[in-house]
Amino acid sequence: MALKYVIQTYGCQMNTSDSERIVTVLEKMGYKPCEEFKDADLIILNTCSVKQKSEDRIYGFGKQFRELKEKNPKLAVGITGCVIRKASGLRHECEEEIFRTMETVDFCFRIKDLMMLPDMLRKLHPVKGAENVKDLLSYFHIDPTIGNIAQVFIPIGSGCNNFCAYCIVPYARGREESRSMAEILDEVKKAAKRGAKEINLVGQNVNTYKPSDEDPKSKESPFAQLLRKIDAVKGVDRLRFYTVHPKDMTDDIINLYGTLRTMTPHLHLPVQSGSNSVLKRMNRLYTVERFKELVAKMRKRLPHMSISTDIIVGFCGETEEEFMESYNLIQDLKIDLVYVSKYSEREGTLAARTLKDDVPAKVKKDRFERLTDGMMHVSHEYNQQFLGKTVQVLVERIRKGYADGKIPEFKMCRFPIKGMSAAKANKLIGQYVDVKVEKALEWALEGKAVDLPK
Ligand code: SF4
């Protein structure tokens, strides 16, 4: 009987994309997917350590894995993602911290070492399909197994050369590396052939994309060249990308909004703080004025564009005044979606080595709630423009009698599908549905389908 696996993925879109590559390797080796830990012979946690909560959740699995291993001695547990910082290997082969903190973990790997996974698994399990994966060249050459055709994430590179004081990514993923345009285009075309309509390009800093096959004669940046090439791919209608760094965003990218047919009226531009002194401590290498200038340029091209951002509250030494600068920035610029996180120290980062995590937990919590509350008003106001209008929803999921997905402006919109059979409802995933908006809530829209696809 085939061995069964479960991959649990945490964190950003980059991790989702990485998990799709892990699935390909496992299925080539003959593993079959299952839904729950209790049925699995192999559990892989693809971790995120940006937030303390995600990291705590990983460590919280220790007891459960011990009990599962008592029932199923074949069970192997592996960890990848940002929690793994130094090395890849089996428990007795490698020094990684995770083996000290979790005695039930059998192996770990940095995602860039994904090619080592088959060898590790061969030592743990009697897998028969090992021959199918002996020629893996690199992480990027592994064809992803797309989990949800409505949301296809394609990495354009990996790693990061910026050392933002709070961030572990440059240590976990290493220095920045770009994929060739040819390779990315090939993956985009394959996804479009399978029915993908929206492509999400992912990388730690998409603006510094530097492939080997850029056009040296072009006046545009390599990333702008890539966006133009993808725009020409038949079947792709929506193009999004993450993450943009305000210090590296160029005018040629801004000028593509409203020019390329696939560029959606939404940009995620992480500011992290509205205070120049905090940005300096964070080593972000731009100013709040630079961020404001970028937002103004974007809004000049597309006045109703949705702009989302990230803010960390309670970073080392953050005063009430500095926090209020973040709060006011969101209100003044009408940023309609903010992913707020409370700062927590990550061992090995610049901040952990040189700054004190001195903002009390209850102050962080209070700032988190005030900022979220303030942003909710902006989001609610922004969403009113859609009331009574018909929007195009790309359906991502079906749950509790509703289908929902995003409109071009990145807002979730749901509509009822009561009475529809499960088979028919599932066929809506990855399809466009026109929806007349009847409710504009703080976080989402709701309405009725105008015309369901046959
Ligand atoms: S740009 Fe900064 S926050 Fe983003 S991955 Fe690189 S170091 Fe981390």
CATH architecture, domain 146-264: 2-Layer Sandwich (3.30)
Query: Higher model confidence: residue 365 or residue 28?
Result: 365
Cα of 219 to ligand 1 centre, how many Å? 27
For the chain, what are the domain ranges?
4-140, 146-264, 297-386, 387-451
For ligand 1, whether the C-beta of 50 sits within 6 Å is no
Pocket test for ligand 1, best of 160, 207, 272 (most atoms within 8 A of CB): 160
For ligand 1, whether the C-beta of 167 sits within 6 Å is yes
Q: Would you list the DSSP string of 369-421?
A: HHHHHHHHHHHHHHHGGGTT-EEEEEEEEEETTEEEEE-TTS-EEEEE-TT--
Mean pLDDT of 191-210: 94
For ligand 1, whether the C-beta of 203 sits within 6 Å is no
What does the pLDDT read at residue 31? 93
For ligand 1, whether the C-beta of 205 sits within 6 Å is yes
Superfamily, domain 387-451: Nucleic acid-binding proteins (2.40.50.140)
What does the pLDDT read at residue 134? 64
Answer whether 4-140 and 146-264 agree in fold: no
Q: Top-level CATH class of 4-140? A: alpha beta
In the predicted model, is pLDDT for residue 50 greater than 70?
no
Which of 346, 311, 342, 272 shows the shortest CA–CA distance to 49?
346
Q: Which CATH number fits domain 297-386: 3.40.190.290, 3.10.20.30, 2.40.50.140, 3.30.750.200?
A: 3.30.750.200
Can you list the alpha helix ranges (DSSP code H) found in 5-59?
13-28, 52-59
Indicate which atom in ligand 1 lies nearest the CA of residue 284.
2
Cα of 317 to ligand 1 centre, how many Å? 20
pTM confidence score: 0.88
What does the pLDDT read at residue 137? 62
